[in-house]
Amino acid sequence: MAKTNADVAQHNQALAEKQKQIDELVAKMDLAQKKEQSLGELLRTKNEIIAQLEGRSKEPDPGMRQDWRVVGIDKTGSTVYVNLGSADKLKPQDTFAIHGVGLDGKVIVRPKGSLEVVNVKGDHLAECRLTNVKDPARDPIVKGDVLYNPAWNPNRPVHVAVAGVIDLTGDGRNSMEEFLRTLRKQGCIIDAYLDPKDFEIKDNEAKVGGALTAKTEFLIEGDSLDVLVDPKARDPQLREKVEKAIGQMRKDANYLGVQPIGLRKYLEKTGYRVPAGVLESGPSRPAGSKDR
């Protein structure tokens, strides 16, 4: 009987050990389940935030006019006609991004191509050439597509500021002067920009003392000095000067509520024709900047 009692005690102890192991395992499973639930909740929250941000990004720009449209296309598909002309103060070499229209009648935010005005033929008619079509097979330019260029307004000049280096060709040279000429051709007033000669902030008349104002609508953010091939761009004092100037322009933009926009995004929105590859794999932005 004594042996039997010992066996029972040993058996009970073994059962207790097994129960302890089971309890520990259940506790671990509960903890893992709770962690999984927490991660799931975090993931759902993250996805909800992303969805909200994407939803905002899918909204057309407030200044987009849906009545500026492609009204005709020639047989070759390379020449299009638009309903803007001399009465709208349209000029040759003006450029526009081209946006499609969805089945719901809303403008599709991402542009499908771009055009350049060749010949103004009437009060509200101009001949244009296509400079880019992203997917001609599946998403060709068609009659009714909408035109957009945030820097072009027939009723008033658009005020902009330009921060950083402007490299339009990807060759490591500052194209600021060419870029400013293009902006002025489109009727823009440049409230402030970094002069590539001395990197001083200058105004529309190339005088030192340019600054963003309440009229400035965009701060176009270019590249950092890192993109330049000029050895002078490695000078620590120059780099400090440029970073300080860019920082001041960003600070002013934030204070005045001026919309910042990355160079490549701005070029896409305005239909500016740039060499292949510059938009997709262009150089870096100024430190802390993002392409918007």
Structure tokens belonging to residue 100: 């499609």
The three-point CA angle 287-163-285 to 5° equals: 30
Tokens encoding 209: 């003392």
Q: What's CA 97's distance to the chain center, in Å?
A: 14
* Domains defined for the chain, CATH in brackets: 70-148 (2.40.10.410), 159-281 (3.40.50)
38-52, 115-129, 183-197: range with highest mean pLDDT: 115-129
d(CA 174, CA 162): 13
63-118 confidence digits (pLDDT tens): 788 899 999 999 888 899 999 999 999 999 999 999 999 888 889 999 999 999 99
Report the amino acid identity of residue 53: L
d(CA 117, CA 146): 15
Q: What is the DSSP letter of 64?
A: -
CB environment 217-241: b (16+ within 10 A), e (fewer): bbbbbbbbbebbeeeebeeeeebeb
106: which 2 tokens?
Answer: 């809303």
Residue 61 has a pLDDT of 73
Which of 81, 82, 130, 101 minimizes the C-alpha distance to 271? 130
Read off the pLDDT of residues 236-258 as tens digits, 9 standing for 90 and up: 999 999 999 999 999 999 999 99
pLDDT digits (tens, 9 = 90+) for 134-157: 999 999 999 999 999 988 888 889
Higher confidence at residue 290 or residue 16? 16
| Amino acid of residue 241 | K
Residue by residue, DSSP assigns 236-251 as HHHHHHHHHHHHHHHH
pTM: 0.69
Residue burial 124-136, b: 16+ Cβ < 10 Å; e: rest = bbbbbebbbbeee
The β-bridge relationship of strands 159-163 and 70-73 is unpaired
Kindly report the backbone phi and psi dihedral angles of residue 69, in degrees, each rounded to the nearest multiple of 5, phi listed first. Answer: -140, 165
- DSSP label of 107: B
Strands laid side by side in the 216-221 sheet: 201-202, 189-194, 159-163, 216-221, 259-262
List phi, psi (to 5°) of 132: -165, 135
